[in-house]
Structure 1
Amino acid sequence: MSAMAVLGWRTLWSLFVCFTVLRTNALSVTMSESTMEVVRGDYIILPCSFSTYSPLSRLNIIWTLAPFSSPESPFQVIVYDHGQIIEDPSLIGRVGFTDLPLRADIMINDTRVSDAGVYRCMVNNPPEAADPGIGELLLTVLVAPSLPACRWDGEVDAGGSVTLSCSVAEGIPTPEIRWDKLNPEEISLPINMEGELSGSVQIINVSAQTSGLYRCSASNLLGTENCYINLSIYSGSESSSGILQGVLLTLSMSLMLSALLVLVTWLHRTGRDGRWRVSKGEEEEEEGYNEIRYTPSLIKRSFV
């Protein structure tokens, strides 16, 4: 093999080794978790580590969030650039780096539902690889079910139809809704879901046995909230009995009023008769007195 050929091979080998070393020493980013969960109101640390062989004087870290509510509109959560930290205005006081400049982890406290989504950690440390290292993590914010609202609609007379409805305002994961009759014995009722957060039960041809206490439950892994309805069904015999009692009460009151009217009339007449007798007696008494008074005068005149 000629000297030129040997030199050529050595040159190619040197280029290959240099290229391999550069590839090996390129900046890399590692996310120890790909999905995480946090209860609303708690804090959480999102991990992001990186390896680099260059000085950290030009280190640049950018965290972005694509919220579940608008995944097509990602925004910058926090940035570290040349020793300066810039936070998104909506997250000031709630987000920060935990171990700069050795790691790119961030902490979010007082978590909210709006914090849920896909987070991306991008690290760049010139003059290393031109393309920044990128890691991705999905964060879910868990929310306990809110207190459900119970209501009913329909006819509570025997033979009618009643619908029991229940709805809950929030809960992550989506709460499971169920209806149960609690007494005289506990029975699970088939439910018709109306969207993810509300469900109803329809009871047809109701009877006295339908009466009782009903409970709606909204449950997820964070807990259970309940609301209740006390349902009373009126049978036909109860209605007839109520009507009969009303009629008897009306008759009783009519008789009492009639008796009172008779009594008042009798007292009025008795009072008038009494006054008439007194007046007549006074007139007779006055006439007798006049006779006694004037008789002596007449007698005296007869002897004059």
Structure 2
Amino acid sequence: MKEEREECCSLHVSRQKQQDEDFALRVTMRESSLKAVQGDFVVLPCSFFTSSPLSRLNVIWTLARFSSPESPIQVIVYDHGQVIEDPSLIGRVGFTGIPWSADIVLNDTRVSDAGIYRCMVNNPPETADPGIGELVLSVLAPPSLPVCQWDGDIDVGGSVTLSCSVAEGVPTPEIRWDKLSPEEIALPINMEGDLSGSVQILNVSSQTSGLYRCSASNDLGTENCYVNLSIYSPPDSPSGMLQGVLLTLTMSLLLLALLVLVLWLHRTGQDGRRWRERKEEEEEECYNEIRYTPSLMKRSFV
């Protein structure tokens, strides 16, 4: 008899526990993962069941971003009829059917919105632990406009490095370098992380000159940037040689004219010196004649 009572009591407890479980708060996530394209909107679903009135319903959505999973933020909260949004999401997030549904809509999605979202529902006086659902949101984005740069020595025989980087893109963009002229050639690329790639060109020559393109591509599109590379080389064409000959000839004529001028000045200086010497001699002879004339005159009167 005692065993029958214990069995009956155990069955009653089991039924009561089953009833409590049947009427306990439950949260259901209709999707475990979602994808959205940057700029579009997405609905994050969260359904719940409760046996208590909804006058004290509390719903909290949190986000653990992929970039900072250890620092989750509160996306939006519903508490006693009041809705509170995270300041960074004001105007972009809202409930779609509160209090009957905990679904939220996220507008103008951004890459920074990607991460793990958790929906937590509590409805006192139910004493069970809050129901929690979880889903993963991925935000797809086309590549941003890449930035092209070059660095190095553009003289013949030098080396040049072409670099290209892109700020964002989901999935991760594929980076590619091509030379477009005079003919299109794919170049081997050195990846520097997921969003940057470079090409090193050694022993550059005049054939290295041309237009180069960096492409960043993923499933949502392609963006390009360009580098126009001009390699400096000394003139070696017939016209360049002719210019060199003419320059040399001109310099030779100038030097010859200068030499003639120096010789003429030197000759002129010598002629002037000789003229002065002759003039001095003539003056001296005249002076001697005048000096002896009185003496002659004196003798004639004696």
The residue number in structure 1 matching 2:186 is 188
The residue number in structure 2 matching 1:124 is 122
The residue number in structure 1 matching 2:219 is 221
Deviates more, 1:213-222 or 1:140-149: 140-149
Q: For structure 2, list consecutive stretches of 5 or more residues without a partner in the other structure.
A: 258-302
CA contact (8 A) 2:25 2:128 kept: no
Q: Aligned match of 1:27 in 25, 28, 34?
A: 25
CA contact (8 A) 1:116 1:139 kept: yes
Question: Could you tell me how far 1:123 is from its partner in structure 2?
Answer: 0.9
Which residues in structure 2 correspond to 1:147-226 (within 5 Å)?
A: 147-226=145-224
Question: Could you tell me how far 1:210 is from its partner in structure 2?
Answer: 2.7
Runs (4+) of structure 1 exceeding 4 A deviation are 234-237, 249-256
* Deviation digits for residues 6-37 of structure 1 (CA, Å, limit 9, x no counterpart): 23321221111111121232221111222222
Residue identity opposite 1:16 in structure 2 = S
Provide the C-alpha distance between the structure 2 equivalents of 1:14 and 1:248, rounded to a whole number of angstroms. 118
Question: Could you tell me how far 1:174 is from its partner in structure 2?
Answer: 2.5
Question: Could you tell me how far 1:255 is from its partner in structure 2?
Answer: 7.1
Question: Could you tell me how far 1:134 is from its partner in structure 2?
Answer: 0.4
Q: Aligned match of 2:112 in 97, 114, 117?
A: 114
Provide the C-alpha distance between the structure 1 equivalents of 2:204 and 2:126, rounded to a whole number of angstroms. 77
CA contact (8 A) 1:27 1:129 kept: no
* Deviation digits for residues 103-146 of structure 1 (CA, Å, limit 9, x no counterpart): 11001112233322221100112233520110111222333222
The residue number in structure 2 matching 1:63 is 61
Structure-2 change in CA distance of 1:242 and 1:129 (3 Å): farther
Residue identity opposite 1:68 in structure 2 = F
Residue identity opposite 1:146 in structure 2 = S
The residue number in structure 2 matching 1:298 is none
Provide the C-alpha distance between the structure 1 equivalents of 2:149 and 2:225, rounded to a whole number of angstroms. 9
TM-score (norm 1): 0.74
Residue identity opposite 1:226 in structure 2 = N
The residue number in structure 1 matching 2:279 is none
The residue number in structure 2 matching 1:302 is none
Provide the C-alpha distance between the structure 2 equivalents of 1:18 and 1:46, rounded to a whole number of angstroms. 34
Residue identity opposite 1:123 in structure 2 = V
The residue number in structure 2 matching 1:93 is 91
Question: Could you tell me how far 1:41 is from its partner in structure 2?
Answer: 2.4
Alignment partner of 2:98: what SS? coil
Q: Aligned match of 1:238 in 222, 226, 236?
A: 236
Note if 1:81 corresponds to 2:79: yes
TM-score (norm 2): 0.75
Alignment partner of 2:207: what SS? helix
Count how many residue pairs are aligned between Structure 1 and Structure 2: 256
> Percent same amino acid at aligned positions?
72
Alignment partner of 2:3: what SS? helix
Alignment root-mean-square deviation, CA? 2.8
